[in-house]
A = this chain, B = another copy of it.
Amino acid sequence: MKALAEIQVIPIGVGVSVRKEVKRAHELIRASGLKAQLHAYGTNVEGDLETILSTIKQVHETLHTEGTPRLSTNVKIGTRTDKEARLEEKLFDSGSS
């Protein structure tokens, strides 16, 4: 099933700056092959729901293996049957000011 999602990974126990771990999470999401758009509060993705979920699992496993002791991840998942979900469709203007 096709889905859209937003994935925000919050590393805990690595200090006040979490930039390195958040960047690594984004790299792993992009490497998954999902269409990915980075923003200040996470990475929006478009693709197969199963791929999205396995990517989340891989991000947790990889960051823990690489030394992050604790992760709190926020995920929003959107699916619909009336038409195909696309990231672009959710934007109604150029939207930055």
Contacts A6-B40, A13-B15 hold; do A82 and B70 have CB atoms under 8 A apart?
Answer: yes
Copies of the protein in its oligomer: 4
Main SS class of interface, A? mixed
Check: A56 CB closer than 8 A to any chain B CB: yes
- B40 adjacent to A40 (CB under 8 Å): no
Question: Which residue of chain B has the shortest Cβ distance to A70 in the bound complex?
Answer: B80
Interface size class of A (residues with CB under 8 A): 35 or more
In chain A between 32 and 79, which residues have their CB closer than 8 angstroms to a CB of chain B? 35-44, 49-50, 53-54, 56-57, 60-61, 64, 69-79
A76 in complex: contacting residue of B8, B49, B64, CB < 8 Å: B8
Question: How distant is the Cα of A39 from the Cα of B95 in the complex, in angstroms?
Answer: 8
